[in-house]
Amino acid sequence: MKVTNTDLPGVLLVEPDVFKDDRGYFLETYHAQRYEQSGIPARFVQDNFSSSKGGVLRGMHYQIGRPQAKLVQVLQGEVFDVAVDIRIGSPSFGKWVGYRLSAQNARQLYIPEGFAHGFYVLSDVASFLYKCTDFYAPKGERGIRWDDPEVGIDWPRGERILAPRDAGFPLLRDAGDDLPAYEPG
């Protein structure tokens, strides 16, 4: 397994070892001890699965009250996956990273608490798995605009299919008291 630091401190790109032969392939998608040794100390308590058609953009989501770190991966298809640092006072506040995750490359992205997350489906269909560190709490659900010009995410071109809720999220600068504070160290 290869774990790479991204341009956002704490966000990690994980490339599991994939063992292929003429029958197919095998990979370990999670091993608590190995992942902790690689810098992912999270204890995951809930798995979520979504299936989306091509052109769907989900995000940019975060949680307050019961924030969640996430380990995400694609089981079918391909997405452009994005994390944005939304921690007030962080040296990387408002910065983003994005990676192509697919069933073929088996990559995962670890997104700690304090980051907004979203993805755009590049294939006809994408099956997406999230491992989360806290249980879903609907009252704490928040988001920022996927197309916030100050954040400037360079999304791949194509049709955009958004839920009305996602399309109506505020700009990062207007999210106000809902944003988490940066805690160094």
Catalytic residues: 61, 130
**Apex CA 14: angle with CA 120 and CA 76, to 5°?**
45
Q: Is the dihedral of CA 86, 156, 100, 25 positive or negative?
A: positive
Residue 125 identity:
V
Sequence-ordered list of residues with C-beta below 8 angstroms from that of 151, at least 6 positions apart, any chain? 84, 94, 95, 96, 144, 145, 172
DSSP alpha helices (H): ranges in 93-181?
164-167
